[in-house]
Chains A and B, each alone.
Chain A
Amino acid sequence: MKTERLVLHFPKEVADKPIVVNLVRKFDLDFNILKAAITPEEEGIMVLEIRGENRSFDEGIRYLREVGVSIQPLSKDIIWLEEKCTHCGYCVNFCPTSALSMVEATKVVSFDSQKCTTCGICIEICPFKAIEFRF
């Protein structure tokens, strides 16, 4: 079994086609949609947690690439800019998955990209703009 969180970019030409559903139909994969959006340029962006047998997983990913979807690991998407962070910790309790946390002894904020679901609430609220989205 394999579980991965991936960012899928659907170019304009395929943004309106049923693609993700084929992960279930053709490759017997489970997925959980963490985020979905269409940009003003009509490119689709979807953050998925995909789960399945190793072989089907790899075949599913190959299928997505073949139809023109580009894929990145999720961790690259939310960037914590440590040099801009003042470690106020304001974001910590807003973060739904504790990807942002405060180290008690040092009072320093840390970011665990593996736990991040890219919900973006930290970006909305950080007064110091210490967190950014990067697609």
Chain B
Amino acid sequence: MKSIEEINEKIRKGEVVVVTAEEMIEVVKEEGVKKAAEKVDVVTTGTFGIMCSSGIYFNIGHTKPKIKLGGGTVYLNGVPAYAAYAAADVFLGATALPDDDPRNKNYPGDFPYGGAHVIEDLVSGKDIRLTAHAYGTDCYPRKFLDAYININDLNEAVLFNVRNAYQNYNVAVNASNKVIYTYLGMLKPNFGNANYSSAGQLSPLLNDPYYKTIGIGTRIFLGGGIGYIIWQGTQHNPDVSRTERGVPKEGAGTLAVIGDLKKMSPNWLRGVSVKGYGVSLAVGIGVPIPVIDEEIAFYTSVSDDEIYAPVIDYSKVYPNRESEIIDFVTYKELRDGQINIKGKKVPTNSLSSYFKAREIAETLKNWIKSGRFFLTQPSAPIPGVESGVKFKLFSGREVSQNEN
């Protein structure tokens, strides 16, 4: 057993042994779990994928005369932001679209610019045009503001994502006879291709499947800077089917994360346009896993051939909330470029970047080895399998036509 404090002491002394989750596979294969647990102090993970439930908030300072944005409207480069806080706070979600974007009226829509692109531009240091209308009060008389703002002139600028780093995910296919456009990309008819999005063996929560070290307060790599896990993500669903070694066989745990946007980089926060679907943000996240005992050494040695993902039809099953899983495939098969569905060889496409996931794990490793990054003891765990936390389906009472 090693404590976080002991590991941090090793970081301070420059004696810490850090490997990436990819390297850990080899370490355990060659030396066994016991020796690996003694030798390795930290395993670094990484993922770089499209994560829609992301956003930023910031404070613009007070204009002269003052304006209360709260209750008014705010646009950033033409993209509507949320302005229902106090006078000078603004929230912008990644998927926001300009009012005049044609969406899918011209199907499939192109979605060239939205909230996530504003986030990327802001992080890049570009000026952003803020246009605000307010109703005016005695204490905040101003009713209109049209100005360029820059991240360097803002007070706080914070990335705040309510659901990131999904622990495993669906593989999307199309059983229908026409092309469909989904958040997992374009799907050709009759199982023409299979799209997936996970860093697999490098992915944070797949290396700590029962959330034994990752919890509220865990310090992480976020968007090129430093961030923290602040809660379980929305739709967190720990109690799903798992393999013998505890790895979920479908989407399970998620993370809510936060971090200083001013320290982040457009290399790790990228606006994306998903044809026919919308705008989203690609986010880079890396979580360090302290190898506190043999169990964690074992978990972090998981490899792509031991991680299964469910293949789901996105033409009918997914949109109608049906539960049919066509098959389970491993990330090894997916990454090798071809899976077998109902006897047919289907080419696979990844939407998350393994190259960048690897780069994140390497970067985090170097930060820790050079004493720039220390590990944290979580303040509280995120809900595990035994917590009873379940992702509920919609149960609202729909208003009938008669009530209208």
Chain A residues within 8 Å of B, Cβ to Cβ: 86-94, 106-108, 124-125, 127-129
Contact = CB atoms under 8 A, between A and B. Distances in A.
A124 B356 CA distance: 22
A124 B358 contact: no
A125 B275 contact: yes
A93 B358 contact: no
A127 B274 contact: yes
A128 B355 contact: no
B350 A90 contact: yes
A13 to B, nearest CB: 32
Nearest to B49: A88
A77 B358 CA distance: 32
B252 to A, nearest CB: 23
Residues of B in contact with A, size category? 20 to 34
B270 interface: yes
Given A88-B350, A88-B352, 17 more contacts: A86-B48, A86-B356, A87-B353, A88-B353, A88-B354, A88-B356, A89-B349, A89-B354, A90-B195, A91-B349, A106-B355, A107-B355, A125-B186, A127-B273, A127-B282, A128-B272, A128-B282
A124 B110 CA distance: 8
B74 to A, nearest CB: 26
A94 B270 CA distance: 22
Nearest to A88: B353
B288 interface: no
Given A86-B356, A90-B185, A93-B337, A128 B270 contact: yes
User: Which has the most chain A C-beta neighbours within 10 Å: B272, B280, B354, B355?
Assistant: B355
Contacts of A88: 48, 350-356
A87 B350 CA distance: 10
Q: Is the interface of B mostly helix, strand, loop or mixed?
A: strand
Contacts of A86: 48, 270, 282, 353, 355-356
Interface of B: 48, 50, 185-186, 193, 195, 270, 272-275, 280, 282, 337, 347-356, 358
Nearest to A84: B270
26 contacts: A86-B48, A86-B353, A86-B355, A87-B354, A87-B355, A88-B353, A88-B354, A88-B355, A88-B356, A89-B350, A90-B195, A90-B350, A91-B349, A92-B349, A93-B348, A94-B186, A94-B349, A106-B355, A107-B353, A107-B354, A108-B355, A125-B185, A127-B185, A127-B272, A127-B282, A127-B351
A28 to B, nearest CB: 39
Contacts of B337: 92-93
A93 B274 contact: no
Nearest to A83: B267
Contacts of A107: 353-355, 358
A86 B352 CA distance: 9
B333 to A, nearest CB: 14
Contacts of A90: 185, 195, 349-351
B115 to A, nearest CB: 15
Contacts of B351: 88, 90, 127
Contacts of B358: 107
Contacts of B354: 87-89, 107
The 4 closest A-B pairs by CB, nearest first: A127-B272, A87-B355, A93-B347, A88-B353
Contacts of B356: 86-88
B191 to A, nearest CB: 13
A90 B353 CA distance: 9
Contacts of B48: 86, 88
Contacts of A108: 355
Nearest to B272: A127
A35 B137 CA distance: 61
A55 B50 CA distance: 53
Contact of A93 (B193, B275, B282): B193
A106 B280 CA distance: 26
Contacts of A93: 193, 337, 347-349
Contacts of A92: 337, 349
B275 A124 contact: yes
A108 B270 CA distance: 18
B46 to A, nearest CB: 12
A126 B117 CA distance: 15
A87 B355 CA distance: 6
Contacts of A127: 50, 185, 272-274, 280, 282, 351
A87 B273 CA distance: 16
A21 B285 CA distance: 56
Nearest to B354: A107
A132 B274 CA distance: 16
B85 to A, nearest CB: 31
